[in-house]
Amino acid sequence: MATEPVTWEREDHTKAKHDLLRAFFNKWVSIHSEHFAKRRGGLVRIYDGFAGPGVYSGGEPGSPLILLRALCEHPRLRERWQAVRYELLHFVEKHPSRAAMLEGKLEGLEVELRERQEWSDGVQWSVTCGRYEENGPRAVSGTSALFLFLDPFGYSHAPMSLTQDLIQQPKSDTLIFLPLSFVNRFAGREGQEKALDRFFGSPAWRQVPDGPGRPDALLTLFQEQLRSAGLDWVLPFRLKAEEGGNVYWIVGGSGHLAGFASIKEGFWAVDPVNGQGFAAPRPAPAGQEAFAFEEPPPPGPNTEPLLEGLREKFGRRDFTVDEAIEFTKRSRFLDTHLKDRTLAPAEQAGHLEVNRPTGARRFKEGKGITMRFTPLSEEETNIRS
Protein backbone atom coordinates (compact mmCIF):
# COMPACT_ATOMS: atom_id res chain seq x y z
CA MET A 1 0.00 0.00 0.00
CA ALA A 2 2.95 2.32 0.75
CA THR A 3 3.74 2.46 -2.96
CA GLU A 4 0.20 3.39 -4.01
CA PRO A 5 0.02 7.00 -5.20
CA VAL A 6 -2.30 9.29 -3.27
CA THR A 7 -3.86 10.77 -6.39
CA TRP A 8 -3.99 9.61 -9.99
CA GLU A 9 -5.02 10.90 -13.40
CA ARG A 10 -8.70 11.06 -14.19
CA GLU A 11 -9.63 8.87 -17.17
CA ASP A 12 -12.33 9.73 -19.71
CA HIS A 13 -14.77 7.13 -18.45
CA THR A 14 -14.37 8.56 -14.94
CA LYS A 15 -15.64 11.89 -16.17
CA ALA A 16 -18.66 10.12 -17.68
CA LYS A 17 -19.19 8.30 -14.40
CA HIS A 18 -19.12 11.57 -12.49
CA ASP A 19 -21.56 13.24 -14.89
CA LEU A 20 -23.96 10.37 -14.29
CA LEU A 21 -23.42 10.43 -10.53
CA ARG A 22 -24.14 14.17 -10.41
CA ALA A 23 -27.31 13.88 -12.53
CA PHE A 24 -28.58 10.88 -10.62
CA PHE A 25 -27.80 12.37 -7.23
CA ASN A 26 -29.49 15.71 -7.99
CA LYS A 27 -32.66 13.82 -8.87
CA TRP A 28 -32.41 11.35 -6.03
CA VAL A 29 -31.80 13.93 -3.34
CA SER A 30 -34.54 16.13 -4.71
CA ILE A 31 -37.16 13.33 -4.75
CA HIS A 32 -36.41 12.25 -1.17
CA SER A 33 -35.94 15.75 0.24
CA GLU A 34 -39.24 16.97 -1.25
CA HIS A 35 -41.00 13.95 0.19
CA PHE A 36 -39.49 14.48 3.67
CA ALA A 37 -40.01 18.26 3.57
CA LYS A 38 -43.75 17.68 2.99
CA ARG A 39 -43.80 15.33 5.98
CA ARG A 40 -41.86 17.92 8.02
CA GLY A 41 -38.87 15.72 8.67
CA GLY A 42 -36.72 12.83 7.61
CA LEU A 43 -33.16 11.72 7.41
CA VAL A 44 -31.19 11.51 4.16
CA ARG A 45 -28.04 9.40 4.35
CA ILE A 46 -25.40 9.30 1.66
CA TYR A 47 -22.56 6.80 1.71
CA ASP A 48 -19.60 6.85 -0.64
CA GLY A 49 -17.97 3.55 0.23
CA PHE A 50 -14.73 3.79 -1.79
CA ALA A 51 -14.30 7.53 -1.59
CA GLY A 52 -10.77 8.20 -2.91
CA PRO A 53 -8.65 11.30 -2.10
CA GLY A 54 -11.31 13.81 -3.26
CA VAL A 55 -9.23 15.11 -6.14
CA TYR A 56 -7.43 13.81 -9.24
CA SER A 57 -3.88 14.72 -10.16
CA GLY A 58 -5.17 17.27 -12.70
CA GLY A 59 -7.22 18.99 -9.96
CA GLU A 60 -10.61 17.56 -10.99
CA PRO A 61 -12.97 16.82 -8.10
CA GLY A 62 -13.68 13.25 -6.98
CA SER A 63 -17.03 11.79 -6.04
CA PRO A 64 -17.18 13.10 -2.41
CA LEU A 65 -16.71 16.71 -3.51
CA ILE A 66 -19.18 16.23 -6.34
CA LEU A 67 -21.82 14.95 -3.91
CA LEU A 68 -21.26 17.62 -1.25
CA ARG A 69 -21.23 20.43 -3.80
CA ALA A 70 -24.33 19.10 -5.60
CA LEU A 71 -26.24 19.00 -2.31
CA CYS A 72 -25.14 22.42 -1.08
CA GLU A 73 -25.62 24.16 -4.40
CA HIS A 74 -29.12 22.76 -4.81
CA PRO A 75 -31.38 25.82 -4.92
CA ARG A 76 -34.00 24.17 -2.71
CA LEU A 77 -31.68 23.17 0.14
CA ARG A 78 -32.01 26.42 2.07
CA GLU A 79 -35.52 27.30 0.89
CA ARG A 80 -37.66 24.21 1.18
CA TRP A 81 -35.65 21.44 2.75
CA GLN A 82 -34.76 22.97 6.14
CA ALA A 83 -36.71 20.26 7.96
CA VAL A 84 -34.61 17.52 6.35
CA ARG A 85 -31.39 16.32 7.98
CA TYR A 86 -28.48 15.25 5.77
CA GLU A 87 -26.68 13.09 8.23
CA LEU A 88 -24.28 11.97 7.11
CA LEU A 89 -22.48 12.36 3.92
CA HIS A 90 -20.34 9.49 5.00
CA PHE A 91 -17.09 8.89 3.12
CA VAL A 92 -15.07 5.74 3.71
CA GLU A 93 -11.51 5.41 2.41
CA LYS A 94 -9.05 2.67 3.30
CA HIS A 95 -5.80 4.40 2.32
CA PRO A 96 -4.69 6.75 5.19
CA SER A 97 -3.07 9.43 2.99
CA ARG A 98 -6.04 9.48 0.65
CA ALA A 99 -8.44 9.73 3.61
CA ALA A 100 -6.38 12.62 5.05
CA MET A 101 -6.30 14.43 1.72
CA LEU A 102 -10.05 13.93 1.33
CA GLU A 103 -10.71 15.39 4.77
CA GLY A 104 -8.66 18.50 3.87
CA LYS A 105 -10.45 18.91 0.53
CA LEU A 106 -13.89 18.62 2.16
CA GLU A 107 -12.94 21.16 4.84
CA GLY A 108 -11.80 23.52 2.10
CA LEU A 109 -15.06 23.06 0.22
CA GLU A 110 -17.11 23.64 3.36
CA VAL A 111 -15.25 26.93 4.02
CA GLU A 112 -15.85 28.00 0.41
CA LEU A 113 -19.56 27.13 0.59
CA ARG A 114 -19.99 28.88 3.96
CA GLU A 115 -18.35 32.03 2.57
CA ARG A 116 -20.74 31.97 -0.36
CA GLN A 117 -23.63 31.35 2.04
CA GLU A 118 -24.37 28.08 0.34
CA TRP A 119 -23.94 26.00 3.46
CA SER A 120 -26.81 24.60 5.50
CA ASP A 121 -26.59 23.47 9.11
CA GLY A 122 -28.70 20.45 8.19
CA VAL A 123 -25.66 19.03 6.35
CA GLN A 124 -23.00 16.96 8.11
CA TRP A 125 -20.15 15.01 6.60
CA SER A 126 -17.49 12.68 7.94
CA VAL A 127 -14.51 10.76 6.63
CA THR A 128 -13.72 7.34 8.06
CA CYS A 129 -10.32 5.89 7.35
CA GLY A 130 -10.95 2.18 7.11
CA ARG A 131 -12.42 -0.58 5.05
CA TYR A 132 -15.93 -0.04 3.79
CA GLU A 133 -16.74 -3.65 4.61
CA GLU A 134 -16.48 -2.74 8.32
CA ASN A 135 -17.88 0.78 8.04
CA GLY A 136 -21.03 0.41 5.99
CA PRO A 137 -24.42 1.92 6.81
CA ARG A 138 -26.04 0.87 10.07
CA ALA A 139 -29.76 0.48 10.59
CA VAL A 140 -31.53 3.63 11.81
CA SER A 141 -35.00 4.13 13.21
CA GLY A 142 -37.45 6.69 11.83
CA THR A 143 -38.06 7.89 8.33
CA SER A 144 -34.92 7.80 6.26
CA ALA A 145 -33.51 7.29 2.79
CA LEU A 146 -30.10 5.91 1.95
CA PHE A 147 -27.98 6.34 -1.15
CA LEU A 148 -24.91 4.17 -1.49
CA PHE A 149 -22.21 4.73 -4.10
CA LEU A 150 -19.85 1.77 -4.47
CA ASP A 151 -16.88 2.55 -6.67
CA PRO A 152 -14.00 0.19 -5.89
CA PHE A 153 -11.01 -0.22 -8.17
CA GLY A 154 -11.55 -3.24 -10.44
CA TYR A 155 -13.60 -6.10 -9.14
CA SER A 156 -11.58 -7.37 -6.20
CA HIS A 157 -14.30 -6.35 -3.77
CA ALA A 158 -17.55 -8.09 -3.28
CA PRO A 159 -20.48 -5.84 -4.17
CA MET A 160 -22.94 -8.64 -3.58
CA SER A 161 -22.07 -9.08 0.08
CA LEU A 162 -21.73 -5.31 0.45
CA THR A 163 -25.31 -4.80 -0.67
CA GLN A 164 -26.72 -7.35 1.78
CA ASP A 165 -26.85 -4.80 4.65
CA LEU A 166 -28.41 -2.25 2.39
CA ILE A 167 -31.45 -4.39 1.81
CA GLN A 168 -32.30 -4.20 5.49
CA GLN A 169 -32.69 -0.41 5.15
CA PRO A 170 -35.94 1.14 3.99
CA LYS A 171 -35.78 3.38 0.90
CA SER A 172 -32.28 2.39 -0.03
CA ASP A 173 -30.81 2.88 -3.46
CA THR A 174 -27.43 2.09 -4.84
CA LEU A 175 -25.20 2.79 -7.81
CA ILE A 176 -22.45 0.25 -8.38
CA PHE A 177 -19.62 0.74 -10.84
CA LEU A 178 -19.04 -2.37 -12.94
CA PRO A 179 -15.90 -2.48 -15.11
CA LEU A 180 -17.33 -5.15 -17.41
CA SER A 181 -14.48 -5.32 -19.94
CA PHE A 182 -12.04 -6.14 -17.11
CA VAL A 183 -14.34 -8.66 -15.54
CA ASN A 184 -14.80 -10.36 -18.91
CA ARG A 185 -11.06 -10.41 -19.56
CA PHE A 186 -10.28 -11.89 -16.15
CA ALA A 187 -13.09 -14.43 -16.38
CA GLY A 188 -10.85 -16.32 -18.82
CA ARG A 189 -7.69 -16.23 -16.68
CA GLU A 190 -6.50 -18.78 -14.20
CA GLY A 191 -6.17 -17.73 -10.57
CA GLN A 192 -9.09 -15.25 -10.67
CA GLU A 193 -11.79 -17.75 -9.75
CA LYS A 194 -12.12 -16.88 -6.07
CA ALA A 195 -12.15 -13.13 -6.66
CA LEU A 196 -14.83 -13.52 -9.32
CA ASP A 197 -16.89 -15.84 -7.09
CA ARG A 198 -16.84 -13.07 -4.48
CA PHE A 199 -17.59 -10.42 -7.06
CA PHE A 200 -20.70 -12.21 -8.36
CA GLY A 201 -21.59 -13.68 -4.98
CA SER A 202 -21.82 -17.06 -6.73
CA PRO A 203 -19.77 -19.42 -8.91
CA ALA A 204 -22.47 -19.22 -11.62
CA TRP A 205 -20.20 -17.05 -13.83
CA ARG A 206 -18.08 -20.16 -14.45
CA GLN A 207 -20.94 -21.65 -16.51
CA VAL A 208 -21.02 -18.67 -18.91
CA PRO A 209 -19.39 -19.79 -22.18
CA ASP A 210 -16.47 -17.80 -23.57
CA GLY A 211 -17.20 -15.84 -26.76
CA PRO A 212 -18.65 -12.55 -27.96
CA GLY A 213 -21.84 -13.06 -25.92
CA ARG A 214 -20.03 -13.39 -22.59
CA PRO A 215 -19.99 -9.69 -21.51
CA ASP A 216 -23.78 -9.44 -21.93
CA ALA A 217 -24.29 -12.72 -20.11
CA LEU A 218 -22.07 -11.56 -17.23
CA LEU A 219 -23.97 -8.29 -17.00
CA THR A 220 -27.25 -10.21 -16.86
CA LEU A 221 -25.84 -12.46 -14.13
CA PHE A 222 -24.70 -9.44 -12.11
CA GLN A 223 -28.21 -7.99 -12.27
CA GLU A 224 -29.80 -11.31 -11.35
CA GLN A 225 -27.53 -11.56 -8.33
CA LEU A 226 -28.52 -8.09 -7.17
CA ARG A 227 -32.17 -9.06 -7.50
CA SER A 228 -31.67 -12.25 -5.59
CA ALA A 229 -29.86 -10.21 -2.89
CA GLY A 230 -33.15 -8.31 -2.47
CA LEU A 231 -32.90 -5.29 -4.76
CA ASP A 232 -35.97 -5.99 -6.88
CA TRP A 233 -35.51 -3.03 -9.21
CA VAL A 234 -32.27 -3.10 -11.15
CA LEU A 235 -31.23 -1.18 -14.25
CA PRO A 236 -27.87 -0.91 -16.01
CA PHE A 237 -26.41 2.15 -17.74
CA ARG A 238 -23.49 1.91 -20.16
CA LEU A 239 -20.48 4.22 -20.02
CA LYS A 240 -18.14 4.37 -22.93
CA ALA A 241 -15.22 6.72 -23.05
CA GLU A 242 -13.95 6.12 -26.56
CA GLU A 243 -14.71 4.16 -29.73
CA GLY A 244 -13.65 0.53 -29.36
CA GLY A 245 -12.42 1.12 -25.79
CA ASN A 246 -13.34 -0.54 -22.53
CA VAL A 247 -16.97 -0.67 -21.57
CA TYR A 248 -18.04 0.19 -18.05
CA TRP A 249 -21.47 -0.01 -16.54
CA ILE A 250 -23.16 1.72 -13.67
CA VAL A 251 -25.78 -0.61 -12.26
CA GLY A 252 -28.56 1.05 -10.28
CA GLY A 253 -30.53 -1.01 -7.79
CA SER A 254 -33.43 -0.22 -5.51
CA GLY A 255 -35.70 -2.10 -3.17
CA HIS A 256 -38.72 0.09 -3.98
CA LEU A 257 -40.38 1.67 -6.99
CA ALA A 258 -39.84 5.31 -5.92
CA GLY A 259 -36.10 4.65 -5.71
CA PHE A 260 -36.21 2.95 -9.09
CA ALA A 261 -37.89 6.09 -10.48
CA SER A 262 -35.01 8.25 -9.26
CA ILE A 263 -32.45 5.90 -10.80
CA LYS A 264 -34.31 6.15 -14.10
CA GLU A 265 -34.49 9.96 -13.80
CA GLY A 266 -30.71 10.07 -13.42
CA PHE A 267 -30.15 7.83 -16.43
CA TRP A 268 -32.51 9.86 -18.64
CA ALA A 269 -30.92 13.12 -17.51
CA VAL A 270 -27.59 11.90 -18.92
CA ASP A 271 -29.03 10.16 -22.00
CA PRO A 272 -32.23 12.06 -22.96
CA VAL A 273 -32.83 9.90 -26.05
CA ASN A 274 -32.71 6.35 -24.70
CA GLY A 275 -31.83 6.59 -21.02
CA GLN A 276 -29.41 3.72 -21.49
CA GLY A 277 -25.90 4.91 -22.14
CA PHE A 278 -23.38 7.69 -22.28
CA ALA A 279 -20.52 8.15 -24.71
CA ALA A 280 -18.10 10.89 -23.70
CA PRO A 281 -18.40 13.62 -26.35
CA ARG A 282 -15.23 14.09 -28.35
CA PRO A 283 -13.84 17.61 -28.16
CA ALA A 284 -14.26 19.43 -31.48
CA PRO A 285 -11.02 20.11 -33.40
CA ALA A 286 -9.56 23.56 -32.74
CA GLY A 287 -11.42 26.24 -34.68
CA GLN A 288 -14.50 24.05 -35.19
CA GLU A 289 -16.12 24.51 -31.80
CA ALA A 290 -19.85 25.23 -32.06
CA PHE A 291 -21.27 28.34 -30.48
CA ALA A 292 -24.05 27.81 -28.01
CA PHE A 293 -26.66 29.35 -30.33
CA GLU A 294 -25.71 26.91 -33.12
CA GLU A 295 -26.41 23.83 -31.05
CA PRO A 296 -29.51 21.88 -32.14
CA PRO A 297 -32.22 21.48 -29.52
CA PRO A 298 -31.85 18.25 -27.56
CA PRO A 299 -33.85 15.41 -29.17
CA GLY A 300 -36.79 14.01 -27.26
CA PRO A 301 -36.97 10.51 -25.81
CA ASN A 302 -37.32 7.53 -28.12
CA THR A 303 -40.50 5.98 -26.74
CA GLU A 304 -41.02 3.41 -29.49
CA PRO A 305 -39.82 0.53 -27.26
CA LEU A 306 -42.37 1.59 -24.63
CA LEU A 307 -45.18 1.37 -27.20
CA GLU A 308 -43.84 -2.02 -28.33
CA GLY A 309 -43.76 -3.23 -24.74
CA LEU A 310 -47.34 -2.12 -24.16
CA ARG A 311 -48.46 -3.90 -27.34
CA GLU A 312 -46.65 -7.05 -26.28
CA LYS A 313 -48.16 -6.91 -22.80
CA PHE A 314 -51.78 -6.14 -23.71
CA GLY A 315 -52.02 -7.59 -27.22
CA ARG A 316 -55.54 -7.04 -28.52
CA ARG A 317 -57.24 -6.82 -25.14
CA ASP A 318 -58.69 -3.69 -23.53
CA PHE A 319 -56.51 -1.99 -20.93
CA THR A 320 -56.87 1.06 -18.70
CA VAL A 321 -54.66 4.13 -18.25
CA ASP A 322 -53.79 2.89 -14.75
CA GLU A 323 -52.58 -0.43 -16.16
CA ALA A 324 -50.43 1.43 -18.69
CA ILE A 325 -48.98 3.59 -15.88
CA GLU A 326 -48.16 0.51 -13.78
CA PHE A 327 -46.43 -1.06 -16.78
CA THR A 328 -44.38 2.11 -17.37
CA LYS A 329 -43.29 2.36 -13.73
CA ARG A 330 -41.78 -1.10 -13.99
CA SER A 331 -40.09 -0.40 -17.33
CA ARG A 332 -36.95 1.66 -18.01
CA PHE A 333 -39.19 4.58 -19.08
CA LEU A 334 -40.33 7.51 -16.99
CA ASP A 335 -43.97 8.21 -16.07
CA THR A 336 -43.72 11.42 -18.11
CA HIS A 337 -42.99 9.40 -21.25
CA LEU A 338 -46.36 7.66 -21.31
CA LYS A 339 -49.30 9.91 -22.08
CA ASP A 340 -48.17 12.72 -24.38
CA ARG A 341 -45.15 10.97 -25.84
CA THR A 342 -46.49 7.46 -26.38
CA LEU A 343 -50.26 7.02 -26.03
CA ALA A 344 -51.34 10.28 -27.70
CA PRO A 345 -49.14 9.83 -30.82
CA ALA A 346 -50.22 6.15 -31.07
CA GLU A 347 -53.87 7.20 -30.98
CA GLN A 348 -53.23 9.87 -33.58
CA ALA A 349 -51.47 7.38 -35.85
CA GLY A 350 -54.41 4.96 -35.56
CA HIS A 351 -52.47 2.30 -33.59
CA LEU A 352 -54.65 2.70 -30.54
CA GLU A 353 -58.46 2.83 -30.26
CA VAL A 354 -59.43 4.82 -27.19
CA ASN A 355 -62.81 4.56 -25.52
CA ARG A 356 -63.54 7.65 -23.41
CA PRO A 357 -66.67 7.90 -21.25
CA THR A 358 -68.38 11.29 -21.51
CA GLY A 359 -66.37 13.96 -19.71
CA ALA A 360 -63.12 11.95 -19.67
CA ARG A 361 -60.29 13.84 -21.32
CA ARG A 362 -57.06 12.74 -22.92
CA PHE A 363 -55.56 9.91 -20.80
CA LYS A 364 -56.73 10.90 -17.34
CA GLU A 365 -56.53 7.96 -14.98
CA GLY A 366 -59.53 6.89 -12.89
CA LYS A 367 -62.04 8.13 -15.49
CA GLY A 368 -62.94 4.76 -16.95
CA ILE A 369 -60.90 5.28 -20.12
CA THR A 370 -60.01 2.03 -21.85
CA MET A 371 -57.95 1.42 -24.97
CA ARG A 372 -56.89 -1.37 -27.24
CA PHE A 373 -54.24 -1.78 -29.93
CA THR A 374 -55.47 -1.98 -33.52
CA PRO A 375 -54.27 -5.03 -35.51
CA LEU A 376 -50.94 -4.57 -37.27
CA SER A 377 -51.03 -4.31 -41.05
CA GLU A 378 -49.42 -7.15 -43.03
CA GLU A 379 -46.48 -4.87 -43.84
CA GLU A 380 -45.93 -3.95 -40.17
CA THR A 381 -46.11 -7.61 -39.16
CA ASN A 382 -43.47 -8.46 -41.76
CA ILE A 383 -41.16 -5.70 -40.57
CA ARG A 384 -41.37 -7.04 -37.00
CA SER A 385 -40.84 -10.70 -37.84
Ligand X SMILES: C[S@@+](CC[C@H](N)C(=O)[O-])C[C@H]1O[C@@H](n2cnc3c(N)ncnc32)[C@H](O)[C@@H]1O
Q: Contact region for ligand X (CB under 6 A) — 148-156, 206-214, 249-257, 368-376?
A: 148-156
Q: Is 52 in the site for ligand X (CB under 6 A)?
A: yes
373 close to 316: Cβ distance less than 8 angstroms: yes
Instruction: Determine the residue type at 331.
Output: S
Q: For ligand X, which residue of 28, 45, 62, 260 counts as binding (CB under 6 A)?
A: 62
- 179 part of the interface to ligand X, by CB under 6 A: no
The H or E element spanning position 291 is: none
Q: Are 330 and 379 in contact (CB under 8 A)?
A: no
Q: Taking Cα atoms as reference points, which of 87, 236, 86, 259 lies closest to residue 173?
A: 259
Q: Which of these, 354, 348, 384, 350, lies nearest to 371 by C-alpha position?
A: 354
Q: Helix (H, G, I), strand (E, B), or coil: what is residue 168?
A: coil
Residues in 86-125 at the binding interface with ligand X, rule: CB under 6 A: 92-95, 98
How many positions of this chain bind ligand X (CB under 6 A)? 17
Nearest approach in angstroms of CB 130 to ligand X is 7
Peptide bond into 88 cis (omega under 30): yes
Q: Residues with Cβ < 8 Å from 313, sequence gap 6 or more? A: 319, 327
Q: Contact with ligand X (CB under 6 A): which of 39, 82, 153, 272?
A: 153
From candidates 33, 72, 151, 205, binder to ligand X by CB under 6 A? 151
Distance CA 129, CA 288 (A): 46
Question: Which residue's beta carbon is nearest to the bound ligand X?
Answer: 62
Q: Is 137 in the site for ligand X (CB under 6 A)?
A: no
Min dist CB 193 to ligand X, Å, is 20
Among 47, 125, 132, 200, binds ligand X (CB under 6 A): 132
Of the residues 7, 33, 63, 262, which one makes contact with ligand X according to CB under 6 A = 63
Judged by the rule CB under 6 A, the positions of this chain that interact with ligand X are 50-52, 62-63, 92-95, 98, 131-133, 151-153, 157
